[in-house]
Structure 1
Amino acid sequence: MSKQKHNPMIAVTISIVPGLGQLYNRQFIKGTTFLLLTIAFVVSFYQFLNIGYWGLLTLGEIPGLDDSRVLLAQGIISLIITGFAITFYVLNLINAYKEAVKIKHGRKNDDLRKSFKDGWDKSFPYVLVGPGLFLLIFVVVFPLLYMILLAFTDYNLYNSPPKNLLNWVGFENFISLVTVPIWRSTFFSVFSWTVIWTLVATTLQIALALILAIFVNDPRIKFKKFIRTVLILPWAVPAFVTILIFAALFNNDFGAINNDILGPLFNQAIPWMTDPFWSKVALIGIQVWVGFPFVFAIFTGILQSISKDWYEAADMDGASSWQKFKSITFPQVMFATAPILIMQYAGNFNNFNIIYLFNQGGPAVRGQNAGGTDILISWVYNLTFETQNYNMAAAISIVIGLIIAGFAFYQFRRTRSFKEEGEM
């Protein structure tokens, strides 16, 4: 066969069976290896994939014998394995085509040693990231896919495997969130409080951190190091310890805030734990205390990096303190920290620890299956581990994920640091 008649399309066509294209290109070792890997894959995974896809489609047929949860997991693993197989298959086609083009243009195949060396050089980065990618798929992607698929089933306390079989219900769970009265009222109540909690608590902690950072950075302030150390101390204490201490301080019966401050001074006792409004006020205050030191430390570093020449030029132009803050300080701080601040909002949107540790999302609210201070993530926790409404918990988790991803993507796109990334 002449090199000019070597047809790349033939190499691609016969590569429908991996390895044959490489054999056609006279890459006998590579072709044999690909062919053996294909045979080994089919022999090893045919039965597993067959059961996996059957289970994914049916979720079982015999109650008590077929466990829909296991079949769902096996189906997801089958999808992941199939993804790897398709990737290998596509790479096999691309390799067969490229090598056939080289032969057609008169280039000789490299010898085995050079082929191995070139292959190792090209694949070395993938070898390094391979273990991490493998763990990522089975530690992050697999649970995520499992949760997404559960949202389209009827898995709850009254329909639990292996006694019962799960069924695919489509978008019924999502529709229930906005049509069934108890789910609708609870969802919109919890969602609105989650948004308020995120905006108010995060904005206050950022504002407090910025104000304190500007004051401490003022040249007239003495003992700067000591003051900064004191202001960062709340960050040094583990957050869960701080939250538990505040939970004790705000306790209605023995808390120091009622017994030692409000009682003696104002003859008042506020129901911090039993009234939803005051519980929310307390939670926002605690979050501001816990969250501001981290932002303060970032703002302090940014303020110290702003050139003093800008302020001197502003003084020469007769700018006021507010004008210098509005035109120099604030834009520079926001430009440098916008992505981090966006993540502060996203983090507080899912800030489970403070809600649960303070009063487990309580107090109870009539006509709802969530507590008065539950945010979406703590509501999902209660649905999962207390009432075992796994399907609704999964559906709400998808809603949370879409909200967070959409918000973060939109805000990152609008930040100057994102827009000017290629210009710096």
Structure 2
Amino acid sequence: MHMKKSSRQHQTKATIFSAVFIGLGQLYNKQYLKGLIYIILAQLFFWNYYPIAYKGIVGFITLGDVPTKVINGKVVQGDHSIFLLINGLITLVVILLYLGLYFMNINDARKNGALRDEGKCAPKFTDSIQTMKFRKLPYLLLLPAAFFVLFVTVIPLLFNVLIAFTNYSAPGHIPDRALVDWIGFSVFYDLFAQESWRSTFFGISVWNLIWATVSTSTVFLSGLLLAMMVNHPKIRLKKFWRTIFILPWAVPQFISILVFRVLLNGSFGPINDLVMKLGFSPVPWLSDPTMAKVSILIVNLWFSTPFLMALMSGILTTMPRDIYEAAEVDGASKLQNFFKITLPLVLLATAPIFIMQFAFNFNNFNLIYLLTDGKPNNPDFYYAGSTDILISWIFKMTLNQSQFNMASAVSVIMFIFIAIFSLWNYRRMKSNQEEDLV
């Protein structure tokens, strides 16, 4: 027992020294240069950043104490709660990075202490550099990208989530003329407890799910059927037809949507003009709630089908012909071949694309905003129209109504739903399961 304890004395002491003071464990392990570098970096960071960190944490907790005021005709600048929230969030991230350095220093001292317990010498500074160069080079190369993702993606996402737990909204809590406060889950409670918010949220959510499901399914099936038609042995000039059908996807979507908005206009649109010349009454393509939703689905077919057709064409050309020959020998019909062979094999190959397409359509802001702008208006909805989906509703709540906390709460719920749906389906995919078995 005594031997076991004494055999780990260097490891234990080095770990404790590094835990008490950054770099001290390295000095104990006779890694003097590395220890000095750790000490200098830690002390410079701590004493220079400590006042900033203290103010950042206090501002993050309080979100300010004094609002901007006008005294004797002069503007006296006060605290800006949102700036304090952002600064506090960045401070917390920097503190976590500092803690990462702290635990890295402890782990380094522990490992080198264990080497000393085994009768070996702790590696010199040049040896550590060589080890880092060859063994940890991939991690070093990923560091710039990791920092970029951290400050460009992760911090904005965290900021968006935190806004949902504040009262940051018009008219009474817009900085810097007023302060913002933490209110916990009150925004989520209001979203489901208040009738106006609840009916709007569930009404838009139902249409959003219908839109994402129907648009994804129709585009998938139309792309598959179009690819089967073009690849049929009796069809000639296959390259010509593929080029014609891919053209809608080549035109910028922004321009195409605006063109369709003019074509489907109820007052001066060319389509309604042609309908009236044929002796029929004009169709309310974008002014009737039901027809507006149908129009959105039709226009989405125009944009998305070419991409799926190109994808399906590549998959169909790689399918083994012997399966179809065996099915033909067994007397299977064309319809049975489609549902029993073609469709399952295509779904197996395109399941990840299908899930990504659903997630994209669930958040397809451009089509909704540019084609209908969420209209026609719905008097039962709060800040939303009949064709608005959740993402366009969030846009209106933020830019038009300044309901930032409610918009943030809805975006958090959207993120949770899409994440759960995508992860659940990815885990259930046969292609993913087969890949894990390889």
TM-score greater than 0.5 by the shorter chain: yes
- Distance of 2:137 and 2:425 partners within structure 1: 36
- 1:38: which partner in 2? 42
After TM superposition, list the pairs within 5 Å mapping 1:78-227 onto structure 2: 78-158=91-171, 159-227=173-241
Match of 1:384 among 358, 376, 398: 398
- 1:26: which partner in 2? 30
- 2:314: which partner in 1? 301
Q: CA deviation at 1:120?
A: 2.1
Secondary structure of the residue that 1:254 maps to in structure 2? coil
Q: Is the 8 A contact 1:6 1:103 kept in 2?
A: no
After TM superposition, list the pairs within 5 Å mapping 1:12-23 onto structure 2: 12-16=15-19, 17-23=21-27
Secondary structure of the residue that 1:364 maps to in structure 2? coil
Q: Is the 8 A contact 2:64 2:80 kept in 1?
A: yes
- Distance of 2:153 and 2:8 partners within structure 1: 49
- 1:265: which partner in 2? 278
- 1:311: which partner in 2? 324
Q: CA deviation at 1:9?
A: 1.2
Give the count of matched residue pairs.
Answer: 421
- Distance of 2:178 and 2:135 partners within structure 1: 51
Matched, 1:290 2:337: no
- Distance of 1:124 and 1:315 partners within structure 2: 56
Deviates more, 1:392-401 or 1:113-122: 113-122
Q: Is the 8 A contact 1:76 1:146 kept in 2?
A: yes
- 1:10: which partner in 2? 13
Match of 1:48 among 27, 41, 52: 52
Q: CA deviation at 1:62?
A: 0.9
- Distance of 1:113 and 1:267 partners within structure 2: 86
- Distance of 1:62 and 1:178 partners within structure 2: 33
User: Structure 1 residues 36 and 324, CA, compared in 2 at 3 Å: closer, same or farther?
Assistant: same
Aligned partner letter, 2:55: I
- Distance of 2:200 and 2:125 partners within structure 1: 66
Aligned partner letter, 2:35: G
| 5+ residue gaps, structure 2 | 1-5, 69-77
Deviates more, 1:342-351 or 1:104-113: 104-113
Aligned partner letter, 2:399: F
- Distance of 1:69 and 1:284 partners within structure 2: 39
- Distance of 2:357 and 2:366 partners within structure 1: 15
Q: Is the 8 A contact 1:383 1:393 kept in 2?
A: yes
- Distance of 1:263 and 1:410 partners within structure 2: 50
Q: Is the 8 A contact 2:378 2:386 kept in 1?
A: yes
* RMSD, aligned α-carbons: 1.3
Q: CA deviation at 1:38?
A: 0.8
- Distance of 2:81 and 2:276 partners within structure 1: 57
- Distance of 1:239 and 1:288 partners within structure 2: 12
Secondary structure of the residue that 2:409 maps to in structure 1? helix
Q: CA deviation at 1:5?
A: 6.9
TM-score of the superposed pair, with normalisation by structure 2: 0.94
Secondary structure of the residue that 2:278 maps to in structure 1? helix
Q: Is the 8 A contact 1:363 1:371 kept in 2?
A: yes
Matched, 1:357 2:360: no
User: Structure 1 residues 4 and 411, CA, compared in 2 at 3 Å: closer, same or farther?
Assistant: closer
Q: Is the 8 A contact 1:11 1:24 kept in 2?
A: yes
- Distance of 1:169 and 1:60 partners within structure 2: 14
Q: CA deviation at 1:73?
A: 0.3
Q: Is the 8 A contact 2:31 2:125 kept in 1?
A: no
- 2:73: which partner in 1? none
Deviates more, 1:317-326 or 1:20-29: 317-326
Q: CA deviation at 1:360?
A: 1.1
Q: CA deviation at 1:31?
A: 0.8
Q: Is the 8 A contact 1:12 1:97 kept in 2?
A: yes
Secondary structure of the residue that 1:7 maps to in structure 2? helix
- Distance of 1:362 and 1:322 partners within structure 2: 41
User: Structure 1 residues 69 and 5, CA, compared in 2 at 3 Å: closer, same or farther?
Assistant: closer
Please identify runs of 4+ aligned residues in structure 1 that moved more than 3 A.
Answer: 3-6
- Distance of 2:198 and 2:324 partners within structure 1: 54
- Aligned-residue sequence identity (percent) comes to 40
Secondary structure of the residue that 2:136 maps to in structure 1? helix
Secondary structure of the residue that 1:257 maps to in structure 2? helix
| 5+ residue gaps, structure 1 | none
- 1:339: which partner in 2? 352
Deviates more, 1:66-75 or 1:175-184: 175-184
